[in-house]
């Protein structure tokens, strides 16, 4: 990651911290200031670099998930492979499904840590145009995986709880 990108991310995180101490308009934004751990990230499924795309797609289908993390020889996250990667990079390419996932994965995916805020994660996903975000520990090892569904579920639950608590 470039120095400018690191500075931009640090600035974004600082701005989010300031906003968390205030209310924006009439909307309760406090949930945006909670750590992403409240989103209950899914346990990631890992595949090796050399696994054929066909086998990866079977894993996605059988587990009803949208992506897998691609693990390097040392156990680190080398990439992420999603159904979008399949559609944009593999579909229609003769012999593509027999090739290793390494050829089509998104390398060095943007990652967050469990203590990062919901707002920070949403911002990264929006700016990056992706729907999945690995959660890594201090050592860089993946401990979870967030998808847009995690955010939708959280907002839906909060809205439903507020409606159920609404005075008659």
Could you give the CA distance from residue 118 to residue 125 in angstroms, rounded to a whole number?
A: 11
CATH number at residue 95: 3.10.580.10
**Domain of residue 89, residue span:** 3-164
Could you give the CA distance from residue 35 to residue 13 in angstroms, rounded to a whole number?
A: 12
- pLDDT per residue over 94-149, tens digit each? 888 999 999 999 999 999 999 999 999 999 999 999 999 999 998 888 999 999 99
- pLDDT per residue over 70-79, tens digit each? 998 887 889 9
Reported pTM: 0.77
Count of domains observed in the chain: 1
């Amino acid at each position: 990651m470039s120095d400018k990108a690191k500075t931009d991310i640090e600035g974004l995180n600082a701005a989010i911290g300031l906003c968390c101490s205030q209310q924006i308009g009439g909307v309760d934004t406090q949930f945006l200031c909670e750590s992403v751990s409240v989103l209950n990230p899914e346990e990631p499924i890992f595949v090796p670099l050399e696994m054929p795309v066909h086998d990866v797609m079977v894993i996605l289908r059988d587990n009803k998930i949208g992506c897998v993390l691609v693990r390097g020889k040392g156990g680190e996250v080398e990439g992420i492979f999603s159904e979008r990667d399949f559609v944009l990079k593999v579909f229609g390419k003769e012999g593509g499904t027999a090739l290793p996932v390494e050829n089509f994965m998104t390398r060095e995916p943007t990652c967050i840590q469990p203590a990062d805020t919901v707002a920070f994660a949403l911002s990264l996903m929006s700016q990056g145009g992706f729907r999945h975000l690995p959660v890594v520990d201090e050592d860089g090892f993946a401990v979870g995986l967030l998808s847009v569904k995690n955010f939708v579920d959280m907002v839906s639950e909060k809205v439903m709880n507020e409606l159920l608590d609404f005075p008659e």
